[in-house]
Amino acid sequence: MTPGPGARAVLLWCGIRSASVVDAGTAAGARSFGGTKMKRLVAAVAAVLMVAGLTTALAPAASAAPAPARAAYVTALYQDYLGRLPSNSDVTFWSAKLAAGSPRSSVAAGFADSDEYRLIRIDNAYRTILGREPEAGGRASWLDGMHRGILGTDDVDRAFYQSDEFYINSGNSDWTVIAALYQHILGRTPSFEESSTWLTRSSHLSFPPGPGTFPTYGLDRPLLVTSIYGSTEAARDRVSVMYSTYFHRAPDASGVVAWGDFNLANGDAATRSGLTSSDEYYALAGLRYP
């Protein structure tokens, strides 16, 4: 989904000009994990886990797990989401929630939607996409957009890919930005046919406002980024990286298909929380932190 007015406002606030010429509505990324929406998401995760050959404790059965297993699981979540080990009070807090019956899916979602994790993702987007350190006002504005529910973690990446800054850094031409997007998002070089197709499909006439202006012909970057980032290939690549991070293995064929589809429908945060609430992840946590 392309960032809506909220994303463009944050881009301008951060000094990153947006090339947005289409508006698919406000982003739905920062979801509330409670009530009916949470129940629907849990049901969707359960279905994908079954197809992918993974199982998860989605019901309040986590209290049956021994205390060391709960502590290992919490420790793994801290390491994999936040890149650090938890304090004793952190372990006690989350372990108590699990012991009281909170499903692992809601605990994992708490990490995926935490401010600390969101800031990690924001900082990483600045460094890997724009090639620079974030400014304080910029990162605060992106986080505020997530708090207000108009942005999700995925939307920051997509907005940066659409920006003038990325376009200029990538060679300041339509051909070079297509090549850069393929490398960043798909990890490969586009063929000549692919680049030509995108130039044809994504080019458009724009009409600047005001007297004395003339229409220009150029690349519809929001359409281009949305199409590449939202492709099946890109989603499966993202899922493959998650499997490597969380399970330390390559995904099986059914898993990458099922979770790739889930990622396209529900976004990055929901996919991560689904994978890290699985029985496989829970068992591996016990081996990593015995």
- Note the pLDDT tens digit of each residue in 84-95: 999 999 999 999
Q: Cα separation of 110 and 279, whole Å?
A: 18
Q: At what angle do helices 104-112 and 67-77 cross, to 10 degrees?
A: 20
Residue 53 carries which DSSP code? T
Cα 43 versus chain centre, distance: 20
By percentage, how much of the chain surpasses pLDDT 90?
69
What mean pLDDT is predicted for residues 152-174?
95
Contact 207, 217 (CB under 8 A): no
The amino acid at residue 265 is: A
Q: Cα separation of 246 and 272, whole Å?
A: 9
Please name which of 46, 43, 6 lies closest in space to residue 23, comparing C-alpha atoms: 6
What mean pLDDT is predicted for residues 34-39?
52
- Global pTM reads 0.77
Long-range contacts of the stretch 187-192 (C-beta < 8 A, 24+)? 187/237
| Residue 61 pLDDT greater than 50, yes or no | no
Over the stretch 108-135, which tens digit does the pLDDT of each residue have?
Answer: 999 999 999 999 999 999 999 999 999 9
| Residue 283 pLDDT greater than 90, yes or no | yes
Q: Cα separation of 85 and 4, whole Å?
A: 36
Contact 3, 146 (CB under 8 A): no
Lowest mean pLDDT among 51-55, 221-225, 274-278, 286-290: 51-55
What mean pLDDT is predicted for residues 34-57?
56
Q: What phi and psi, each to the nearest 5 degrees, are found at residue 206?
A: -120, 150
Residue 135 carries which DSSP code? P
Contact 141, 10 (CB under 8 A): yes
Q: What per-residue confidence (pLDDT) applies to 202?
A: 76
Q: How far apart are the first and last CA of the chain?
A: 41
Contact 180, 166 (CB under 8 A): yes
Joined together, the tokens standing for residue 216 give 């220009």
Query: Three-class SS of residue 142?
Result: helix
Lowest mean pLDDT among 64-68, 144-148, 248-252, 274-278: 64-68
Lowest mean pLDDT among 43-47, 107-111, 177-181: 43-47
Please name which of 63, 59, 60, 85 lies closest in space to residue 74, comparing C-alpha atoms: 85
Quote the mean pLDDT of the chain: 82
Q: Cα separation of 119 and 109, whole Å?
A: 16
Q: What per-residue confidence (pLDDT) applies to 139?
A: 96
Contacts of 81 (CB under 8 A, 6+ apart): 111, 112, 114, 117, 120, 272, 276
The tokens 């003339």 sit on which residue?
214
